[in-house]
């Protein structure tokens, strides 16, 4: 695609860095950088390089995410992998990956790779139920345990279940880390690292003064523009920003979308789909989804050809 029709997608690593620094200052405990799903679509390797000196380690879901990104080449910090389902223990050791384990079988398989105990406090997946905890602790001296908590009550249950049986504990992602009672020895932010760190801009490839019903849905338009991003890229109806003004993506087709415009907006003008003027929060609000869904989706809108 020629340069002037291309969608521009910028990942601001300096913003991710300042997010990480401000989290660490605010919470006063270790920060484990959550870089699963290619750092929510921002690029695992470059995020790791950008904040390696700020964090104490990393979290991914599958060990192969860290292996494929060759994370151990750019960071010497340990990586917790939340779902080591079919990996080879030697490979984990080689890549400094500490697998989360939650059954005695897993523990036996991964004992040589410093496993971390995942404790279930309500998520009911990838973690050890309270009833099995004593048998896990009897089978191995774990130095570290964590839970994936969505609510404060789950953190309270975690505190009670863990007691003083571990050297290092963590429970909070972005939503709970500002509550001091949820911090323990570390926090595991994902989305909080990436807020305000992505800009996606795409040009108007057509501009029309509307007459009569427009598009598939027959919406009213005094003036509208077309962009070359559609639902095949993940785009949905929502906010955008053109020439200093908030506008709307009013209708989305397979590979293009309609944007409301002002009378002075012209062919080739840039439409901001995410950035300083269009926040993840505002997109998530319109889409009725989490900021995590909004970010991973918008990163596909930006990257897919």
Residues that bind ligand PLP in the complex, under the rule CB under 6 A: 34, 36, 59, 82, 148, 173-175, 188-192, 292
Nearest-approach distance from CB 174 to ligand PLP, in angstroms: 3
Closer to ligand PLP by CB, 99 or 190: give it: 190
d(CA 44, CA 174): 18
d(CA 238, CA 246): 11
Q: Based on the number of CB atoms within 10 Å of its own CB, is 85 exposed (0-12), middle (13-18) or buried (19 or more)?
A: exposed
Torsion from C-alpha of 267, 272, 276, 279, nearest 10 degrees: 150
Nearest-approach distance from CB 72 to ligand PLP, in angstroms: 20
Closer to ligand PLP by CB, 175 or 273: give it: 175
In sequence order, what are the residues at sequence separation of 6 or more whose Cβ sits closer than 8 angstroms to the Cβ of residue 168? 143, 144, 145, 184, 185, 186
Nearest-approach distance from CB 137 to ligand PLP, in angstroms: 20
Closer to ligand PLP by CB, 64 or 248: give it: 64
Closer to ligand PLP by CB, 173 or 203: give it: 173
- Asked if 49 and 58 count as a contact pair (C-beta separation under 8 A), the reply is no
Longest Cα–Cα distance of the chain, Å, equals: 75
Helical H runs in 111-199? 133-139, 152-162, 191-194
Closer to ligand PLP by CB, 34 or 201: give it: 34
Nearest-approach distance from CB 269 to ligand PLP, in angstroms: 34
Nearest-approach distance from CB 171 to ligand PLP, in angstroms: 9
Closer to ligand PLP by CB, 251 or 291: give it: 291
In sequence order, what are the residues at sequence separation of 6 or more whose Cβ sits closer than 8 angstroms to the Cβ of residue 211? none
In the complex, which residue's CB is closest to ligand PLP? 190
Best CA proximity match to 197, nearest among 20, 41, 10, 6: 10
Nearest-approach distance from CB 4 to ligand PLP, in angstroms: 35
């Amino acid at each position: 695609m020629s340069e002037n029709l291309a969608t521009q997608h910028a990942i601001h690593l300096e913003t991710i860095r300042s997010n990480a620094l401000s989290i660490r200052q605010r919470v006063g405990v270790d920060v484990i950088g959550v870089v699963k799903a290619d750092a929510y679509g921002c690029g695992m390797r470059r995020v790791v390089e950008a904040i390696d000196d700020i964090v104490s380690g990393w979290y991914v879901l599958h060990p192969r995410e860290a292996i494929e990104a060759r994370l151990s080449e750019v960071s010497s910090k340990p990586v917790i992998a939340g779902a080591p389902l079919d990996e080879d223990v030697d490979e984990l050791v080689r890549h400094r990956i500490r697998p989360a384990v939650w059954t005695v079988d897993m523990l036996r398989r991964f004992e040589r790779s410093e496993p971390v105990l995942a404790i279930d406090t309500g998520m009911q997946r990838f973690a050890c139920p309270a009833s099995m905890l004593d048998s896990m602790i009897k089978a191995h001296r774990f130095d570290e345990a964590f839970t994936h908590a969505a609510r404060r009550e789950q953190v309270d249950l975690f505190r009670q279940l863990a007691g003083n049986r571990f050297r290092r504990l963590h429970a909070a992602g972005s939503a709970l880390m500002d509550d001091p009672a949820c911090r323990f020895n570390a926090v595991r932010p994902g989305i909080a690292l990436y807020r305000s760190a992505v800009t996606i801009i795409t040009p108007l490839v057509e501009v029309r003064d509307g007459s009569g019903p427009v598009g598939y849905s027959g919406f009213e338009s005094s003036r509208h523009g077309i962009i070359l991003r559609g639902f095949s890229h993940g785009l949905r109806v929502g906010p955008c920003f053109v020439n200093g003004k908030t506008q709307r993506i009013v209708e989305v087709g397979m590979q293009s979308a309609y944007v409301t415009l002002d009378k002075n907006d012209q062919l080739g003008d840039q439409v901001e789909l995410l950035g300083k003027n269009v926040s993840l929060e505002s997109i998530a609000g319109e889409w009725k989804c989490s900021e995590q869904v909004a970010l991973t989706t918008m990163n596909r809108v930006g990257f897919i050809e």
